């Protein structure tokens, strides 16, 4: 059978398979499958079950809602999860024998996260609660209520994907008795608490909270070991930086967690730490590894994928993710400092769990031409067995293009890593356009994972080049830090060197038909490129930055991100302006399409408005498309119809000019 090429509508054929969770005895597992319903224009996810003795896969929840965060009770008889069946995420309970899920909470502001108590009779959770109110208090709905002004007194008063932050609401930790439904509040005070972990004996928990009065310039989350009975706190870590993902060892002697200090601000590598609860000291288990712990992948397929920061085995071995050279691999570690990769190269492990004995792991794995499924891997041998095949029909029908990995020497003799895709239907001897696609962040990375957008661009008959320039994660600390204070410098050089490299190596690329696109930082870089070279015949900038001066005050992160990344604030507008693509608008000769979301609070739409009006006033070839009801994450989690329109705009622009 002849396979077809990738299409925009593949968004509706792809299945996202995520979040494998092993039962305590290791004989069962649950996971989440998400698909996009075209008619309903929404994402739908449900809970699935695997019997690991028979490999039978069964759907356990139904409906047109979303399910997240499944967790087994300690005895393996129940699974709790969050679901937005009633708009806000609430806590539900399902028997491992099947049946209907029981709703446990009806909180006004929903539930943020939860952890089982080991006794199985109660569940700890954290959830927003209005000051002076309780979790269960209901606000009166008044349809005739008039709009009211909002008084802002803090600098952190809005957030992308959320909007204006409540000024009098705080996340508190509580506990619910499953049998009676009684809810009590564990923490108090006008602070944002996060529930991290509950010990296996039920006597301790780990919480995160910053109790500083003014959080505007507080970039840290201290972790505390708390006695459940007395509420006495012991500091685990209280340093500048964000720490979390805590997990107790099975004997409760250790707490593992991940985090990074601010040595290189937000470019600092994440590490895995272990705290000894008896001695009160901690060690950095990955200090010798010059790569970040965690998953820093940029892609557009997986929905709601989350992986544990760390998983313990009974003999105090640990498993965690590491981003390295475009891979996200599962790593194994011991308290003695041994560290080994547990999964192979050239793939993206975006979810995992490991059984208590350390015999096998459940992995959610994707690669460059596979959207991802759940696998069982024997730890000792590396042997794998596929447990799900939800994307089999898609893979049988669609011809996916295999990206070829490239490495070339950049400035300072650094290796720069990336991928080059030939166009669909490639024929030897013919010339084809090339699209350069630039990721956001900048401290993220393209990876050996399935990327629908890249396959779609190739399907149009274009080559695709995407690289990890300096500033990208997955490489050494010096490399990821090198972009700070040098936006438009060495990073621009890396991208242009990549173009020169593939032009010299590949005769099929038509250097007269080059296109460039990118979002967020990639949008900034697209704007920068067209203001500094006319090599590209078409460009599409998305959710971009063009003016660091205004960005400082309008972005939800601008007032500190600008200093971290550009090394300047409003006392040094000359430096901010020097790094602003808007300054170089007069040089632009490339037809530029500007795409931006109306509700983007990270890179607000005024950035696009400035760029469009400036270019238009100068007689440049440009158009501006605004996406309603969309935020900074349109390309990944936006409303499906808008994601389709975005892709159509990108391909339409390049088709017109290339």
**Continuous segment of H or E residues that includes residue 172:** strand 169-177
| Neighbouring C-beta atoms of residue 266, cutoff 10 Å | 19
Task: Kindly report the backbone phi and psi dihedral angles of residue 303, in degrees, each rounded to the nearest multiple of 5, phi listed first.
Answer: -110, 125
| Neighbouring C-beta atoms of residue 148, cutoff 10 Å | 6
Q: Is 632 a catalytic residue?
A: yes
Q: How far is residue 403's CA from residue 415's CA, in Å, rounded to a whole number? A: 18
- What are the beta bridge partners of residue 78? 95
Q: Is 184 a catalytic residue?
A: no
Catalytic residue among 23, 596, 632, 635: 632
Q: How far is residue 141's CA from residue 565's CA, in Å, rounded to a whole number? A: 44
Q: Where are the beta strands (DSSP E) in 598-633?
A: 622-627
Q: How far is residue 101's CA from residue 61's CA, in Å, rounded to a whole number? A: 8
- Nearest by Cα to 325 from 301, 294, 346: 346
Residue tagged 């760029």 (tokens): 611
Sign of CA dihedral 84, 85, 87, 92: negative
**Helix, strand, coil shares, percent, the chain, to 5:** 20, 35, 45
Q: How far is residue 295's CA from residue 651's CA, in Å, rounded to a whole number? A: 29
**Continuous segment of H or E residues that includes residue 114:** strand 113-116
Catalytic residue among 520, 544, 555, 597: 520
Cα end-to-end span (Å), the chain: 32
Q: Are 365 and 375 in contact (CB under 8 A)?
A: yes
- What are the beta bridge partners of residue 242? 221, 260
The pair of structure tokens assigned to 103 is 């709703």
Residue tagged 């013919």 (tokens): 430
Q: Which residues are catalytic?
A: 520, 632
């Amino acid at each position: 059978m002849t396979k077809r090429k990738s299409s925009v509508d593949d968004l509706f054929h792809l299945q996202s398979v995520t979040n494998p969770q092993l039962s305590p005895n290791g004989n069962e597992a649950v996971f989440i499958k998400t698909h996009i319903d075209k008619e309903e224009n929404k994402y739908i996810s449900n809970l699935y079950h695997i019997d690991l003795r028979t490999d039978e896969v069964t759907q356990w929840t139904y409906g047109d809602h979303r399910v997240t965060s499944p967790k087994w009770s300690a005895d393996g008889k129940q699974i709790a999860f969050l679901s937005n069946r009633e708009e806000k995420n609430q806590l539900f309970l399902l028997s491992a024998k099947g049946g209907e899920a029981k709703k446990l909470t009806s909180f006004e502001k929903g539930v943020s996260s939860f952890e089982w108590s080991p006794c199985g009779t109660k569940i700890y959770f954290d959830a927003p609660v209005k000051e002076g109110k309780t979790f269960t208090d209901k606000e009166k709905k008044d349809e005739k209520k008039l709009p009211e002004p909002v008084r802002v007194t803090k600098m952190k008063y809005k957030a992308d994907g959320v909007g204006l932050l409540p000024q009098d609401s705080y996340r508190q930790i509580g506990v619910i008795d499953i049998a009676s439904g009684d809810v009590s509040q564990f923490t108090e005070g006008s602070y944002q608490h996060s529930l991290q972990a509950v010990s296996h004996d039920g006597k301790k928990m780990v919480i995160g909270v910053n109790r500083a009065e003014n959080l505007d310039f507080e970039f840290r989350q201290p972790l505390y070991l708390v006695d459940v009975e007395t509420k006495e706190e012991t500091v685990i870590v209280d340093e500048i930086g964000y720490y979390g993902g805590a997990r107790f060892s099975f004997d409760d002697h250790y707490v593992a967690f991940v985090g990074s200090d601010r040595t290189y601000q937000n470019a600092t590598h994440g590490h895995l730490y272990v705290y000894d609860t008896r001695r009160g000291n901690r060690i950095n288990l990955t200090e010798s590894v010059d790569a970040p712990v965690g998953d820093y992948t940029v892609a557009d397929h997986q929905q709601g994928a989350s992986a544990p920061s760390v998983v313990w085995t009974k003999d105090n071995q640990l498993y965690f993710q590491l981003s390295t050279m475009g891979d996200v691999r599962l790593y194994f570690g011991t308290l003695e400092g041994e560290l080994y990769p547990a999964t192979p190269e050239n793939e993206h492990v975006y979810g995992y769990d490991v059984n208590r004995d350390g015999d096998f792991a459940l992995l959610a794995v994707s690669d460059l031409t596979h959207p991802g499924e759940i696998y069982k891997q024997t730890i000792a041998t590396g042997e794998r067995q596929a447990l799900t095949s939800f994307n089999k029909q898609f893979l049988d029908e669609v011809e996916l293009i295999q990206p070829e990995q490239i490495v070339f020497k950049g400035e300072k003799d650094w290796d720069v890593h990336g991928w080059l895709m030939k166009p669909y239907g490639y024929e030897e001897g013919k010339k084809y356009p090339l699209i350069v696609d630039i990721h956001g962040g900048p401290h993220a990375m393209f990876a050996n994972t399935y990327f629908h957008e890249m396959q779609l661009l190739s399907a149009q008959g274009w080559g695709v080049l995407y690289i990890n320039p300096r500033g990208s994660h997955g490489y050494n600390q010096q490399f990821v830090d090198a972009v700070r204070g040098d936006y438009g410098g060495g990073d621009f050089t890396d991208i242009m060197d990549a173009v020169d490299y593939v032009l010299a190596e590949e005769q099929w690329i038509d250097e007269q038909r080059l296109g460039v696109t990118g979002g967020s930082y990639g949008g900034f870089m697209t704007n920068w490129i067209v203001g500094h070279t006319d090599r590209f015949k078409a460009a599409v900038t998305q959710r971009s930055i063009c003016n660091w001066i205004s960005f400082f005050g309008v972005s939800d992160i601008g007032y500190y991100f600008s200093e971290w990344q550009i090394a300047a604030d409003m006392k040094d507008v000359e430096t901010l302006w020097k790094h602003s693509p808007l300054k170089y608008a007069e040089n632009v000769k490339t037809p530029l399409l500007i795409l931006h979301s109306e509700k983007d609070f990270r890179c607000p739409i005024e950035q696009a408005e400035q760029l469009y009006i400036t270019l238009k006033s100068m007689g440049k070839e440009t158009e501006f498309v605004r996406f309603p009801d969309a935020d900074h994450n349109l390309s990944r989690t936006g409303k499906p119809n808008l994601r389709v329109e975005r892709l159509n705009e990108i391909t339409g622009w390049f088709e017109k000019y290339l």
